[in-house]
């Protein structure tokens, strides 16, 4: 009986070691210099680690948008975290944009097309309809980062942004909305001059499919 218990304990030890090692590869903590008390999702931490390790931002400020937790993490050109804020994203789940959607009016966009596409985007400030100054994330598909618009009463955008849960933050046509103070105090000063890079994490696709260099990063850095 005692031998059986010992044998099972030994087996458990053998099994748990590789499982923990695999977990470490998949879910590293936030990279050095990034606030440890933030509740980073494993994918966001992984992408942040990759950007910091490879300096993929090319000396430009950058933002990581985690659609699943409706969060935006903002960094300066040196990779120092400037802040974190809740965001509103496209109401439809999905990581691609319908071809030609950039030329459509809002009324022509179908419910399934209201996605915030995932990927790496070189973003620049520019003017949108109504002389609105926005950070164009993907000009071709008309995805921009801008302060929360008034929207309709039914949409309750401000309330959704303020609510503690991220479950109600999917409401836009595909754009990324942040609060006006965060936009004017943090995003605009950082991105206005030279633009920056915006990394949008996927809803459905595996994160390595959207950021393929994540696959090779551990080998290149010898981690």
Partner 1 sequence: MSPTFMKLAPAAVILAGSMGLGGCATKGFVRDQIATVNQRIDGLDTRLQTTDGTAKQALAEAQAASGQAQNNTQRLDQLNGRVDSVEQRLAEKQRRARN
Query: What are the residues binding partner 1 (CB under 8 A)?
Result: 54, 56, 58, 90, 101-102, 105-106, 109, 114, 122, 124, 126-132, 134, 136, 139-144, 146, 149, 151, 172-175, 177, 195, 213, 216, 219-220
* CB closer to partner 1 out of 82 and 128: 128
User: Residue 222 CB, nearest distance to partner 1 (Å)?
Assistant: 9
Rounded distance between C-alpha atoms, residue 182 and residue 185, angstroms = 5
User: Residue 36 CB, nearest distance to partner 1 (Å)?
Assistant: 29
User: Residue 174 CB, nearest distance to partner 1 (Å)?
Assistant: 4
Residue pair 28/46 in contact by the 8 Å Cβ criterion:
yes
Q: What angle do CA 163, 63, 54 make, to 5 degrees?
A: 140
* CB closer to partner 1 out of 40 and 191: 191
Whose structure tokens read 């050095």?
32
List phi, psi (to 5°) of 110. Answer: -75, 160
Rounded distance between C-alpha atoms, residue 100 and residue 124, angstroms = 20
User: Residue 5 CB, nearest distance to partner 1 (Å)?
Assistant: 33
């Amino acid at each position: 009986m005692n031998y059986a218990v010992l044998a099972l304990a030994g087996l458990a030890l053998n099994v748990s070691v590789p499982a923990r090692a695999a977990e470490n590869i998949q879910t590293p903590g936030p990279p050095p210099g990034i606030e440890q008390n933030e509740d980073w999702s494993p994918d966001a931490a992984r992408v942040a680690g990759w950007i910091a390790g490879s300096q993929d931002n090319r000396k430009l400020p950058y933002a990581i948008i985690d659609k699943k937790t409706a969060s935006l993490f903002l960094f300066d050109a040196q990779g120092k975290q400037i802040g974190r804020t809740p965001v509103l994203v496209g109401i439809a789940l999905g990581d691609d944009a319908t071809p030609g959607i950039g030329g459509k009016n809002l009324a022509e966009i179908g419910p399934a097309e209201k996605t915030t596409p995932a990927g790496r985007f070189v973003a620049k400030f520019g003017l949108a309809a109504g002389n609105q100054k926005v950070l164009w994330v993907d000009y071709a598909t008309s995805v921009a980062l801008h302060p929360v618009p008034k929207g309709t009463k039914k949409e309750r955008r401000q309330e959704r942004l303020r609510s503690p849960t991220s479950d109600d933050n999917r409401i836009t046509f595909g754009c990324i909305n942040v609060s006006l103070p965060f936009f004017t105090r943090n995003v605009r000063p950082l991105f206005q001059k030279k633009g920056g890079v915006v990394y949008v994490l996927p809803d459905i696709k595996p994160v390595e499919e959207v950021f393929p260099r994540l696959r090779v990063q551990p080998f290149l850095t010898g981690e």
